[in-house]
Amino acid sequence: MHAEDANFTFVHFTDTHIMAGITYTSDFGWQVDTQKTLERVIRAINALDPAPDFAIIGGDLTSPDLIDRSRRPTPEEYEPSYQVLHETLQLLNCPVHMLMGNHDDRIAFHRVMQHEVPSPDFPHYFSFNHHGYHFIGLDTLEPGKHGGYVDAQQLDWLRDDLHAHQGEPTLAFMHHHPWPVEIEWLDTQNLRNGDDVVGLLRDHGGVRWMICGHVHLDKEIERDGLTQLTSPSTCFQTSKVSQARKTYAGPPGFRVVRVKGRELSTQVLYLHADRNDEL
């Protein structure tokens, strides 16, 4: 199908931060059950009209590392959280693509999702086509760091993938934001070689949007025809004004994208009440 005839919807939700069996208590004092908030988001997505063709989850899928910050959990300790994620996603009525974030563990992720990978901790990047559009998912996880990085091997893959899809309208997804969101503490943990990634995306000529997670807030930045969108988290959000770290529980949110021919439009929905009929 040519992009001119495209007519579909997809959703981007992110930072699901599943911690198996735990109601997360933040250092700000608020609590959130991240499995419950994900279930609410999934119910809302299932109620969308038109229904989305697919979903992309923007990373920080799980985060048992937040329970005890003094040490990093083992892949075995990560696995129950990916199991809970996997089971919860069975509720979703459309196919789903997942990205890695800084709180994720590739080894446990691949094991639970039963991916065939060249090595146990192989970066999880991919691309696919849908109705004349090209979609790219990058893996910006740099183990042990809050910020992100795309290594040389993945950059080579990205260059080749873009070349193979020259001229096709393209959307790129990554956990970490290449461009500053103008919130100081978040901009110290961005995609540190974002210029390399953006350079390749710009060379392609057809990349319209970069859609990111990580910052737990919805923002839109446009530079010379390329737009960076960030989506809110399904569980807890970041202050839109504080330059120092400040987070708060809810409301769960997600992004809906409409594609009609060459036109893209988007909106962010927040679940202020646990009722889909109030969307």
Residues that bind Fe ion (CB under 5 A): 15, 60, 101-102, 214
Shortest distance, position 172 Cβ to Fe ion, whole Å: 17
Residues 211, 231 contacting (CB under 8 angstroms): yes
Number of neighbouring beta carbons within 10 Å of residue 15: 27
Give the whole-angstrom CA distance, residue 212 versus residue 230. Answer: 5
User: Given the complex with Fe ion, which of 60 and 105 has the nearer CB atom?
Assistant: 60
User: Given the complex with Fe ion, which of 12 and 214 has the nearer CB atom?
Assistant: 214
Shortest distance, position 192 Cβ to Fe ion, whole Å: 14
User: Buried b vs exposed e over 149-162: b needs ≥16 C-beta within 10 Å?
Assistant: bbeeebbebbeebb
Shortest distance, position 17 Cβ to Fe ion, whole Å: 6
User: Given the complex with Fe ion, which of 102 and 228 has the nearer CB atom?
Assistant: 102
User: Given the complex with Fe ion, which of 159 and 192 has the nearer CB atom?
Assistant: 192
Tokens of 190: 């961005």
Residues 209, 165 contacting (CB under 8 angstroms): no
Shortest distance, position 175 Cβ to Fe ion, whole Å: 6
Shortest distance, position 252 Cβ to Fe ion, whole Å: 13
User: Given the complex with Fe ion, which of 9 and 193 has the nearer CB atom?
Assistant: 193
Residues 31, 24 contacting (CB under 8 angstroms): yes
User: Given the complex with Fe ion, which of 84 and 259 has the nearer CB atom?
Assistant: 84
Largest interatomic CA distance in the chain: 52
User: How far, CA to CA in Å, does 192 sit from each of 14, 147, 197?
Assistant: 20, 7, 10
User: How far, CA to CA in Å, does 116 sit from each of 106, 110, 135?
Assistant: 12, 8, 21
Residues 68, 107 contacting (CB under 8 angstroms): no
- The verdict on whether omega for the bond into residue 251 sits within 30 degrees of 0, i.e. cis, is yes
Shortest distance, position 57 Cβ to Fe ion, whole Å: 11
User: Given the complex with Fe ion, which of 82 and 133 has the nearer CB atom?
Assistant: 82
Shortest distance, position 197 Cβ to Fe ion, whole Å: 16
